[in-house]
Structure 1
Amino acid sequence: MPEAPEVEALTLFLRERLGGHTVREVDLLEGRALKTRARPLTELIGRRVTGATRHGKHLDLDLEGVHLGIGFGRAGWATWRDTGEADVDSPAPEIARVVLDNGILGITDAGEWLSVQLHVVDAPQDVPAVAKLGPDAVDPGYSREMLAEALGGRRKQLKALLQEQETLAGIGNAYSDEILYAARLSPTAHASSLSEDDVTRLHLALHDTLTAAVIARRGVPIAEQKAAKVASMRVHGRAGEPCPEGDGVIEDIPGTKGAGQWCPSCQVLPDGTT
């Protein structure tokens, strides 16, 4: 799943490559992906790309006031081929294709179930999922006080809360594991049980983990983003491996069916238990 650091890198790449260029053709290969049936992708034809912005895990392309919103979901991503470059087989099925005067932007989905969502709208906030996003997790202005307010004494497990886009936008399954490992907090701990020190530690881990990831992903080619993300993970996806900083072993988080990982020896509940 692409999360804020990967989508931020993609946004910067597309802003540089697409800015000022004109859409010549569009091709919707999977009709279920387009959620604005009354507004087809053909609205983009003849328009110049005037902006590219990230909203949580979503990408928005501004084409002279008409916006293409792309929600990547669990397995969506993008490809880019400059004009004149040989066509390279994508490892994932192509959902849609936008042909510009300088290259081809492809939208892909590698999941068993279609998760990519495309919207043609007048503004980014017209996409329902974008309209309800909370503060952006990557924003350097996201303060400890804002996090404490978001936690708000809620009886919800930390891993689930970090992935709740209405509370904090941009974090998914992988980075929630990495943040909680860095904070040395159990993913099953409830927000209501955290001490002041726990909240401070969680805020620092959130900021440091995401900032480092954004910097690391910047400049990595689109096709290599997934591999770079996987390689950077310390606990996520590493069940059975030794803890990178302790004597424990990484395990699957109970109840996640292997989708999330943690180190029970390092990450404890606020009362000191695992």
Structure 2
Amino acid sequence: MPELPEVESLSRFLAEHVVGRSVARVYPVAFHALKTYDPPLTALEGATFDGVRRHGKFLDLGAGEVHLVMHLARAGWVRWKDRLPEAPPRPGKGPLALRVRLAEPDGAGFDVTEAGTQKHLAVYVVRDPLEVPGVARLGPDPLSEDFTAEAFAALLKGERRQIKGVLRDQSVLAGIGNAYSDEILHAARMSPFKLAATLSEEDAARLHAVIGRTLTDAVERSRGLALGDLKAEKKNGLRVHGRTGEPCPVCGDTIREVSFSDSSLQYCPTCQTGGKPLADRRMSRLLK
């Protein structure tokens, strides 16, 4: 799933390539992905892109009085093409969900795709990004100047959930998902099951610093890369997430996994849980 660093890189790439250019045609291919109807998708045609922003994991392409807002969900992506095919795309079972063709002379543009059978990609055309419910309820951006250690500590007060779930909650912090929450907690040497409200001031300050450093480093590693290389860069840069059974790069212990119904987390017992393996809840249910 694209998270804050990847979406930030996508927004920077698109800003360099589309700002100042007008839209010739927009082709909706997967109609289930379009979540709004007023303004219509055709409101983008003839408009000029004047800015690209990121709101958490949402991409926001401003074009005059309207915004094209996209959430790429688990398997969505943006693919830039210097020259799109001349023939309009046909709806079908392929990954293409939306095509945006820019005005001539070169006919460049981008495709929005979604792999897999579970379709959660969401596309909105709105007059104000805050009209998108997911944007309106976002918490603070962890790369913003307002996200101070004091502000983070205030978010944790009275929070009885496990810190892993808190970091992933978009209404608490915008942009962190499953992968980077694993990376952040490993770097902070903190158990994903630790209750957020039990963090000391020192713990909260350390975690705040690690959040900023982890996300900033990931953004910088992606700077200047082509869109097609961003996913590989993310995977290569992860130290524990998705690396079950491999040695921890810090201590050499074996990275372990806890599985849930539709996801999993990875952690290092030595670095994060005092050497004690966390209970795999899926396996616990099978053994009952």
The SS at the match of 1:60 is strand
Q: Structure 2 residue aligned with 1:94, among 96, 100, 105?
A: 96
The SS at the match of 1:266 is helix
Gaps of at least 5 residues in structure 2 are 88-93, 279-288
Task: Provide the rounded CA distance (Å) in 1 between the counterparts of 2:116 and 2:211.
Answer: 28
Task: Provide the rounded CA distance (Å) in 1 between the counterparts of 2:84 and 2:78.
Answer: 18
Alpha-carbon RMSD: 2.0
How far apart are 1:258 and its partner, in Å? 5.7
How far apart are 1:86 and its partner, in Å? 11
Kept after mapping to 1: 8 A contact 2:38/2:126:
no
Q: Structure 1 residue aligned with 2:112, among 107, 126, 130?
A: 107
Tell me the alpha carbon deviations over residues 149-195 of structure 1, each in whole angstroms, 9 at most, x when there is no partner: 11113110111110100000010110000000000000011101211
Cα pair distance change 1:84/1:105, threshold 3 Å: closer
Cα pair distance change 1:77/1:207, threshold 3 Å: same
2:162 is aligned with 1:157: yes
1:192 counterpart residue number: 197
2:220 counterpart residue number: 215
Amino acid at match of 2:251: G
Task: Provide the rounded CA distance (Å) in 1 between the counterparts of 2:251 and 2:20.
Answer: 51
How far apart are 1:123 and its partner, in Å? 1.1
Gaps of at least 5 residues in structure 1 are none
1:35 counterpart residue number: 35
1:243 counterpart residue number: 248
Which residues in structure 2 correspond to 1:25-174 (within 5 Å)? Answer: 25-83=25-83, 93-101=95-103, 102=106, 103-174=108-179
Identity %: 44
Count of matched residue positions in the alignment of Structure 1 and Structure 2: 268
Kept after mapping to 2: 8 A contact 1:78/1:222:
yes
Kept after mapping to 1: 8 A contact 2:70/2:124:
yes
2:90 counterpart residue number: none
Mean alpha-carbon deviation: is it higher for 157-166 or for 193-202?
Answer: 193-202
Q: TM-score, normalised by structure 2?
A: 0.88
Kept after mapping to 2: 8 A contact 1:4/1:138:
no
Kept after mapping to 2: 8 A contact 1:138/1:170:
no
Amino acid at match of 1:39: P
> Which segments of structure 1 move beyond 2 Å, counting only runs of 4 or more?
37-40, 83-87, 253-259
Kept after mapping to 1: 8 A contact 2:15/2:51:
yes
Cα pair distance change 1:191/1:52, threshold 3 Å: same
Cα pair distance change 1:164/1:263, threshold 3 Å: same
Task: Provide the rounded CA distance (Å) in 1 between the counterparts of 2:180 and 2:113.
Answer: 22
Task: Provide the rounded CA distance (Å) in 1 between the counterparts of 2:261 and 2:190.
Answer: 17
Tell me the alpha carbon deviations over residues 115-141 of structure 1, each in whole angstroms, 9 at most, x when there is no partner: 110111001111110011010022244
Kept after mapping to 2: 8 A contact 1:77/1:109:
yes
Kept after mapping to 2: 8 A contact 1:235/1:243:
yes
Which residues in structure 2 correspond to 1:222-261 (within 5 Å)? Answer: 222-253=227-258, 255=260, 259-261=264-266
